Structure 1
Amino acid sequence: MTAGELVLSWGAATHEGLRRRVNEDGFLAGDGVFLVADGMGGHDAGEVASALALEALSPLRDVTRVDPDVVVGLVTAAQARIRGIDTGPGGRAAGTTLTGAVVAYQDDVPYWLFVNVGDSRTYLLSGGTLDQVSVDHSEVQQLVDAGLLTEEEARRHPRRNVVTRALGADETPAPDFRYVPVVLDDRLLVCSDGLTVELTDERITQVLLDHADPQQAAARLVDEAIAAGGRDNITVVVVDVTGGNDADRTVTSPRGAWEPDEDTVPSGASAPGRDGSPRAQEDA
């Protein structure tokens, strides 16, 4: 596939879930850039943090040749803006995850340049198989990597929402990067952890296979995550590599009811201990 042959169609859906008053997720989609950010922080600062991150990364839509150095520069700018958010006296510092893919070219051949900070996820569905391209930057993932937790145990662990990297942390986080060739008929899924905490990869795969239209697939995933509990904000972007001329589309799902939330928090912030008991704020 060459640059002149690449056509992408996409759909997106987002919802604050059933336990949140504010949707702190955000997404950027179109012009070869597909990113999701999941904000965190007191005084609605998570909503501001995710919006600032995506705004800082939006110039990627106008860059002719994207490479990791360009992305790192924009991530650094986002970090500075998020660190400047005022969360009020005693407020938890603002932060956000960032994950997704940007179309980048090598010798006029399109590649996905995947980028990830935090525990929001990017998947690639190819040949009927769903692979998680990103690696979670979270405490439970470290326990899984060490062989101390299974994947299923990690899904239920009381510290599953504690991330080890986030934009807004004391030091600018190093994003993970990965190049993968763009292949005709591949499907990309970019999502916040509000989806993956509710649905297994097996169920996500089935929904993606059952719904050929990317907008219908995105909306269905959000609907099923809400039906499964909707404990967090949920954002889904589905991107197809097609040979047609489908137009870019987006939709925002309607708001739901509010109950106490289950937010993503940075490592070191106030969060339940590994036994589920409360833990005080750690020193910086």
Structure 2
Amino acid sequence: MSKRYLVLDKSYLRSVSKAKVEELEEKFIFLLPLAAVYEIIKDEKYRAQLLAKFTDENSYEILPSPKKLIDFEAEFLKPVIKPSKLIQLTDKSNHKSFINKEFKLTSKQQKAIEEEMDFYQDLTTQFIENELKAGFDLKENRPDFFAKIQEIPDWNRVLIDSIKEGKKIPFKNIPERIDENWYMYRFHQLNHHLRMDILNRYENIDTILESKKTIMKINHDLIDLLYLVEGILEGAFATKEKRLINFWEKFAPENGILIKD
């Protein structure tokens, strides 16, 4: 019987035993989101311990970056459907080095991690500046409209209109339809619900801007969101994060596999 792919959240890998990981290896090939890989590698304290839970480097594959998945859809005007279909040959020869507790990252590796983390930090900054500030303004000045946009029933229409208007989405041509099989669809759908969750939890934008801890929490939430997008598209996801579990139960396909134990 062929193995299924399973998107693995860092929180799950940290929480379970090596025996549990090996048990899952009998049924699944793990898919590691690129952000998870960099988060694990930069963690000198736990890097070796986490990666040693895998039997070897053949236990997992590394997913393309979110940007590559979006660029694929923009260029070919078709959905990613399953991220595993876009797996590229990745050099995992450093796996044995990474499970050595004495190993120190090279300057090249450190730079690659910093550049990748800068991408997610920029994503957080844009999310706060473009999404949250406008959202808090609506919440304060147009509460009736704010209440209406808690749920958006037709993401296809919203995304197609955004492409036509040249907003955010880098499509040169207009696809006929964007549905649940598109990375773009799932990203904006879940991004919106994370946005609403934050807008309903905090009183105003200053509450966020005045707290570095809160900004770091939002950065963490956005990275988690990218894990979840890939997990929902793949139809199989392992996580321990309560918010991700709640979002999964709301948006995942009916035959999707969620592993949380």
State TM-score, norm by structure 2: 0.32
Structure with the higher helix share, 1 or 2: 2
Q: Which has the larger radius of gyration?
A: 2
Higher strand share: 1
TM-score (structure 1 length as normaliser) = 0.30
